[in-house]
Structure formats: C-alpha cells, structure tokens
C-alpha cells in the first residue's frame, strides 16, 4: 500500500513542507483547508458504467471499445474475472491521463476457474449470471469483508433459472456454480431489497438466456432505482430493450447484444467529496467533463449541495458536457434527504459540519455495503465528538464541535473520503487507510492535495488546465 504523508510537522500542511510519498503503512493526516478553494479538476471514469460496459462487451456479438474507462481496484477485478472465463481484453495505445482505453473481444466462455470479487459489489453480483453461461465450474470468493455482503438473491435466482449452485446456505460468498454453456432463463421472482445490483446483474445478461428473462422483485422497498435505470440505459445503447410493465417487474427478450464504442463518463459519485470541499472550505470547485444528461446517481450531488447552501452552476462546453462549479461560503445547512444511496457518506460528513439537523432516510441497505455504513459513520463521527444517531433506515446528524483523532476507514473508500472531508475543517484527523480509495479512485490523494487544495503539484492534469 502506498501511503502519503507530509515530511514536515503533522497537521501543518500550509507551510513550505513538501508532499512526499513513502511506502510505510500508517495513517494519513487529512489536510486542513488552507482557505477558500479555487480548484478545477477532471475525474476518472465511472465505476458503475465501466463495470456494466465491461460485462456487456464480454457477452456482445462483436468487439467493443471503452474510452476513458475507470482503472481502479473494482474495474481491475472485473477485467481479471472476465479474462478468467475467456474474454479477450486489451489496452489500446494512447496517452489518457487516467489509463488506457480498452478493446474487448468476446470469446466462448469457459469455466474451470475461480473469481476474486475483492470487495466489489458489481463483480460479486454481475459476474455469476455471466459465468452461468460458461461451460464448466466457476468458484466465487472475495475479501473477508465481502463475505459479509448479501448474496442470497444472486444464488437463489441462478437456481431458479436452472443453474447448479453449490453454497453453504448462508447466502454469502464463497460459492460456486456449474455452467453448462447455456441458461434456460424465463420468469423468476427475487427479493432485491438488499441491493439493486441483484436486479442489474440479471438484466445485463438476460438477453443471453434461452427464454430471456422476466424478473419480479417481491421484497420491501427496492434501493438505488437509479442504478437499475442505468442498467436499462446501457442495454438500450446495445440494442436490448427492457420493458417494465409494472413497477418492480422487468422483461428482457432473448436476442443479440451489439458491440459498441462507448465513452465512459467521469464518476460523479466520486466528484461528491471534491465538490463538497467547496462547501466546507468556502470558495469554488469545478469538475470538468460533467455530462449534461446522465443516469449516474452522483448527478444528484448538484441539487443536494444547493440544498445544503452552495451556489451551483453548470456551464456547457459542448458535446453534451460542461463544467459543474460549486461555490460555498463555508456555512452548511442541514437537510432531509431520502435515498441518498452511495452519496450518503459524503452527505453525512457535510452534515456533521452543518448549522442544523440532517435526517437521512431510505438507506437501511447501506448496512450491506463495503461495511455497515450506518454503524461506521455514526461510530467515527461520534468518536471525534460529533452527534450521529442510527435509525432503522438511516441517520440523524446534529452538528457538534469535533476534535482530531483516528478515523477508521473500514476498507470502505467512501468512509476514507468522508474522513478527508471532515479533516478539511477539523484539525488532527488521521485517516487510518486512505489507500482504500483505490477501490474506485486511486488518484484520490493526488487530486485532493493537488488541484483541490493546491498543496502539491498534481501529476494528473488530463485537460492541461491546472
């Protein structure tokens, strides 16, 4: 693990001290904001879009090219998994700031292999239905933390589709399946209340099942509907039309999936902490390459930050893209927000620094994310003097002065960035494992210290703007 720390006195990031990189594992002193910000940055590709497009490219009728895909732990795991079952994935020459474009050539899928899901929900929920199309056994496992994440709907749905699955009955990783080279498909019902990824994983592959797929969600509320919409939109671009005759029911007809040339949008959820920094420190942060139309839930950050007191501006730059600029005064308003999805850790960090109460609802399923995010956020903020209460389906945050201390990341990239955000305003926050940001944004520290805070020379400047 690479750890970044200052060569000078801790908690004094404003002097002449140089940013040095060393390899000694240790906590990362989150820098205080040096004053109002004036930052402009571009971000690497979306995890959710990259991993959907990788899957669709692997089961398409012809080759695909992914432009500006995300290169991070979660996408590397997806690439390795698809290669393990036979897909050819090559890096194309080029000089992208955030890593190579990818050429994906589908091949006959073969089992006889094992897949490491790491802690990636998209790998553990999207890959098993793909592997079921392969000939031969495929074993799935992941990090110790991944063995706690809900997997029952994936396991049960594969069985209902006629796939032979071997598991220990806990509805968790590890398990293995025995592909026969085809999947019968047809009509099934699942309880997807623990994760929208159960639905997305099946919809992505449904057109490849002999009878297609009719999927009915039977449980309580369905979380992260935006992510299901994203799945349907990525399928539509490849010629697969998913019908939804009633809420919670989706029909995927059997048929072809086209190869495609796809430009991946920047990750708007990962933009959250950077844009939120303007609210904490004051000043402005601009994220370039922001798509005018998108299915990413991260786009909601623009409205959320406006509701929390920011001035948000979108300047079109052409080609359906623009610059999103968030300007803050340093004052933050509390909000009531339902279904914050993967944005919840960022919003909670901001709420802890706000002037009034924040109530987050509709996020009970965050207990099954990289860690139990409701427990982790309340434990960490309360440990540094804050006031967060867990409710049945969310959090209530009351602003309270906080003090420095060790901030635990729980192997969760969004817990680590939440610590960095609080550290902008609270002196002495030490994030125990900032390296966990590599799950979806390996350049987090460079972008945070460089373009955002102006504390170091950025080594990533894709648009030559900095």
Ligand X SMILES: O=C(O)C1=C[C@@H](OP(=O)(O)O)[C@@H](O)[C@H](O)C1
Ligand Y SMILES: C=C(OP(=O)(O)O)C(=O)O
Tell me if residue 342 is catalytic: yes
Residue 237, annotated as binding a ligand: no
Size of the site for ligand Y (CB under 6 A): 8
CA dihedral in degrees (39, 323, 274, 268; nearest 10)? -160
- Regarding 121 and contact with ligand X (CB under 6 A), the answer is yes
DSSP state of 452: I
- Regarding 369 and contact with ligand Y (CB under 6 A), the answer is yes
- CB-CB contact of 191 with 150 (8 Å): no
- Regarding 150 and contact with ligand Y (CB under 6 A), the answer is no
- Regarding 118 and contact with ligand Y (CB under 6 A), the answer is no
Output the furthest CA–CA distance in the chain (Å, rounded).
Answer: 66
Residue 224, annotated as binding a ligand: yes
Residue 148, annotated as binding a ligand: no
Nearer Cβ to ligand Y (101/342): 342
Question: Residue 413 and residue 151: Cα distance in Å, rounded?
Answer: 21
Q: In 71-224, which ranges are continuous DSSP H helix?
A: 73-84, 121-131, 152-160, 197-206
The closest of 46, 228, 200 to 125, measured between CA atoms, is 200
Segment interacting with ligand Y (CB under 6 A) among 5-13, 30-38, 116-124, 320-328: 116-124
Nearer Cβ to ligand Y (280/297): 297
Interface residue with ligand X among 42, 122, 193, 214 (CB under 6 A) is: 122
Q: How far is the CB of 270 from ligand Y (least distance, A)?
A: 9
Kindly report whether the peptide bond that precedes residue 174 is cis, defined as omega within 30 degrees of 0: yes
Nearer Cβ to ligand Y (158/363): 363
Q: Which of 265, 342, 411, 446 is catalytic?
A: 342
- CB-CB contact of 440 with 70 (8 Å): yes
Q: What are the backbone dihedrals phi and psi of residue 190, each rounded to the nearest 5 degrees, phi first?
A: -135, 160
Residue 196, annotated as binding a ligand: yes
Interface residue with ligand X among 197, 234, 288, 452 (CB under 6 A) is: 197
Interface residue with ligand Y among 308, 380, 414, 420 (CB under 6 A) is: 414
Where in 289-348 is the site for ligand Y (CB under 6 A)? 342
Residue 48, annotated as binding a ligand: yes
Residue 322, annotated as binding a ligand: no
Residue 373, annotated as binding a ligand: yes
Question: Residue 43 and residue 248: Cα distance in Å, rounded?
Answer: 33
Interface residue with ligand X among 195, 295, 348, 358 (CB under 6 A) is: 195
Nearer Cβ to ligand X (97/145): 145
Partner from ligand X, ligand Y, none contacting 196, C-beta within 5 to 8 A by type: ligand X
Nearer Cβ to ligand Y (208/369): 369
Nearer Cβ to ligand Y (300/414): 414
Question: Residue 358 and residue 335: Cα distance in Å, rounded?
Answer: 5
Q: How far is the CB of 366 from ligand X (least distance, A)?
A: 7
DSSP state of 31: P
Size of the site for ligand X (CB under 6 A): 13
Q: What are the backbone dihedrals phi and psi of residue 305, each rounded to the nearest 5 degrees, phi first?
A: -70, -35
The closest of 255, 243, 117 to 185, measured between CA atoms, is 255
Q: Strands 64-67, 261-263: parallel, antiparallel or unpaired by DSSP? A: parallel
Segment interacting with ligand X (CB under 6 A) among 163-171, 219-227, 298-306, 402-410: 219-227
Task: Print the binding letters for residues 320-339 with ligand X: x by CB under 6 A, - otherwise.
Answer: --------------------
Q: How far is the CB of 418 from ligand Y (least distance, A)?
A: 11
Interface residue with ligand Y among 27, 31, 45, 121 (CB under 6 A) is: 121
CA dihedral in degrees (296, 358, 330, 266; nearest 10)? -10
Residue 121, annotated as binding a ligand: yes
Beta strands in 307-460 (DSSP E): 311-318, 321-328, 336-338, 358-361, 387-391, 394-398, 405-407, 429-431
Interface residue with ligand X among 73, 208, 300, 365 (CB under 6 A) is: 365
CA-based end-to-end distance of the chain: 27
- CB-CB contact of 264 with 50 (8 Å): yes
Q: In 326-401, which ranges are continuous DSSP H helix?
A: 344-352, 373-383
Segment interacting with ligand X (CB under 6 A) among 8-16, 37-45, 222-230, 392-400: 222-230
- Regarding 122 and contact with ligand Y (CB under 6 A), the answer is yes
- CB-CB contact of 102 with 90 (8 Å): yes
Q: Give the 3-state secondary structure of residue 257.
A: coil
DSSP state of 439: G
Question: Residue 27 and residue 434: Cα distance in Å, rounded?
Answer: 7
Where in 194-233 is the site for ligand Y (CB under 6 A)? none
Interface residue with ligand Y among 54, 120, 130, 173 (CB under 6 A) is: 120
Q: What is the set of active-site residues? A: 342
Binding site for ligand Y (CB under 6 A): 120-122, 342, 369-370, 414, 440
**Annotated binding residues for 3-phosphoshikimate:** 47-48, 52, 195-197, 224, 342, 369
**What is the binding site for ligand X (CB under 6 A)?**
48, 121-122, 195-197, 200, 223-224, 227, 341-342, 365
Point out the annotated binding site for phosphoenolpyruvate. 47, 121, 149, 197, 373, 414, 439
């Amino acid at each position: 693990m690479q750890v970044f720390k200052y060569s000078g006195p801790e908690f004094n990031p404003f002097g002449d001290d140089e940013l040095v990189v060393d390899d000694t594992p240790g906590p990362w002193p989150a820098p205080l904001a040096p004053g109002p910000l004036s930052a402009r940055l571009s971000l690497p590709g979306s995890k959710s879009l990259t991993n959907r497009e990788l899957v669709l490219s692997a089961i398409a009728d012809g080759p695909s090219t992914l432009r500006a895909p995300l290169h991070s732990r979660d996408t590397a795991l997806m690439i390795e998994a698809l290669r393990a079952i036979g897909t050819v994935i090559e890096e194309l020459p080029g000089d992208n700031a955030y890593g190579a474009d990818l050429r994906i050539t589908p091949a006959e899928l073969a089992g006889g292999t094992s897949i490491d899901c790491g802690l990636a929900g998209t790998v553990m929920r999207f890959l098993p239905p793909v592997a079921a199309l392969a000939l031969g056994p495929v074993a799935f496992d992941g990090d110790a933390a991944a063995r706690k994440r809900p997997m029952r709907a994936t396991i049960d749905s594969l069985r209902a589709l006629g796939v032979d699955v071997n598991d220990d009955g806990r509805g968790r990783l590890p398990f293995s399946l025995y592909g026969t080279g085809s999947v019968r498909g047809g009509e099934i019902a699942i309880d997807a209340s623990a994760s929208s990824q159960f639905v997305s994983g099946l919809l992505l592959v449904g057109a490849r099942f002999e009878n297609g797929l009719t999927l009915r969600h039977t449980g309580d509320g369905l979380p992260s509907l935006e992510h299901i919409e994203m799945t349907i939109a990525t399928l539509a671009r490849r010629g697969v039309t998913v019908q939804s005759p009633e809420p919670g029911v989706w029909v995927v007809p059997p048929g072809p999936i086209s190869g495609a040339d796809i430009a991946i949008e920047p990750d708007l959820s990962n933009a959250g902490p950077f844009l939120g920094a303007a609210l904490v420190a004051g000043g402005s942060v601009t994220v370039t390459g922001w798509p005018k139309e998108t299915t990413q839930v991260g786009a909601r950050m623009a409205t959320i930050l406006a509701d929390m007191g920011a001035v948000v501006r979108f300047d079109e730059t052409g080609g359906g893209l623009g610059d999103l600029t968030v300007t803050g005064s340093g004052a933050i308003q509390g909000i009531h927000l339902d279904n914050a999805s993967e944005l919840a850790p960022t919003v909670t960090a901001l709420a802890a620094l706000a002037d009034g109460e924040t109530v987050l609802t509709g996020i009970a399923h965050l207990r099954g994310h990289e860690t139990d995010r409701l427990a982790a956020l309340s434990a960490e903020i309360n440990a540094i003097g804050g006031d967060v209460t867990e409710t049945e389906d969310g959090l209530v945050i009351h602003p309270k002065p906080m003090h420095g201390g060790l901030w635990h990341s729980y192997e969760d990239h969004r817990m680590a960035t939440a610590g960095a955000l609080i550290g902008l305003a609270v002196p002495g926050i030490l994030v125990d494992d900032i390296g966990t940001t590599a799950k979806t944004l390996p350049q987090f520290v460079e972008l945070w210290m460089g373009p955002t805070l102006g504390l170091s020379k950025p080594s990533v400047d894709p648009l030559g703007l900095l």
